Structure 1
């Protein structure tokens, strides 16, 4: 996969942070690690990121919605694909510090004009969005997957892809993950499959 030097440099910065944080988490108790989880990058991982990037490019998706920017690791890969397709990523995040961190990384990768950062409540931002979407990544607190799906599903273009992350790991979210899977698989307008990539991705395609 050909990646430009600016992108690769930012990716190396993310990888270093992940390695440092993994060492820190190993030194913490499970309780302390859970309390501090918002501090950690917790990325989808390179395998999942490459899969999403490739799918977007192959599908020629242009209007991309990311629900849960966090520190911008996935955003980086989505934006690189958006640049190839002449598209744009709308990414939603409620934590302003995370947005500022992600904006800095996206800028250093030369991808700022391909990303629209929207701060605030995800549900409200989805409700207020006037765009329609070719690709959606769901990657926020799992109890919000179903409410988010109910709001963005009427805004999907025919053939749109929807990816729900963390379907297998962590097991603490199994109930919420299954609720999301049950909802989307029950819709006749969606075909859906669970792929064991990264922490498990529910890959669904919408047909009107």
Structure 2
């Protein structure tokens, strides 16, 4: 990773921490992933040669930059979904500064509706870091959009375990899925479709 991107990521980490410490209004908080989660995602993308990456929950683009720099190395692209206009604008500026804009497509809107419009088997890797109360409802569509052998990674598996348990049980109970939880960052729930 080049020095300018390293510096931008460090700046965004500090901004996210300071912003979230000062602001209690959830829509204005960044709620970024941890650095080790970013590193983990980057390794997963490169190890699986995930060229079509879908992120649900852009925020200010911190996680997207981790995904995009890894996807770019394997000739891939990231599509990221965000509903908040405020966060979309912050992310767009960060993408421009990063030099990774060509590797990122931003979609604005409600994730469930946007997922419904996507083609079958259209993503190699999906990173889910959004409104946890919607995950169970989105699961059939996520399963349709994710290619066989593709990987779903969901943040906050341990930090918000009470909210995540129903979704994790639903996915783990699917006969065509192998799943596990990895203690990286706030906990990552991983699931792959094999059947």
**TM tier, smaller:** over 0.9
Which of 99, 107, 117 in structure 2 is aligned with 1:118?
107
CA displacement 1:34-81 (0-9 Å, x = unmatched): xx1222221110011110110110110001110111111110100111
Is it true that 1:133 corresponds to 2:123 in the alignment?
yes
Which of 131, 135, 155 in structure 1 is aligned with 2:145?
155
Which of 11, 14, 37 in structure 2 is aligned with 1:13?
11
Which of 53, 68, 71 in structure 2 is aligned with 1:79?
68
| Equivalences, count | 194
Q: Displacement of 1:22 after TM fit? A: 5.3
Does the Cα contact within 8 Å between 2:115 and 2:145 map onto a contact in 1?
Answer: no
Mark the runs of 5 or more structure 1 residues left unpaired by the alignment: 26-32
Mark the runs of 5 or more structure 2 residues left unpaired by the alignment: none
Does the Cα contact within 8 Å between 1:64 and 1:88 map onto a contact in 2?
Answer: yes
CA displacement 1:11-47 (0-9 Å, x = unmatched): 122022134235536xxxxxxx3xx122222111001
CA displacement 1:113-164 (0-9 Å, x = unmatched): 1111000111010011136110001111111111222212112212101011
CA spacing shift, 1:124–1:23, aligned 2, 3 Å: closer
Distance 1:114 1:19 in 2: 26
CA spacing shift, 1:170–1:177, aligned 2, 3 Å: closer
Q: Secondary structure at the match of 1:191?
A: strand
Aligned to 1:165: 155
Q: Secondary structure at the match of 1:205?
A: strand
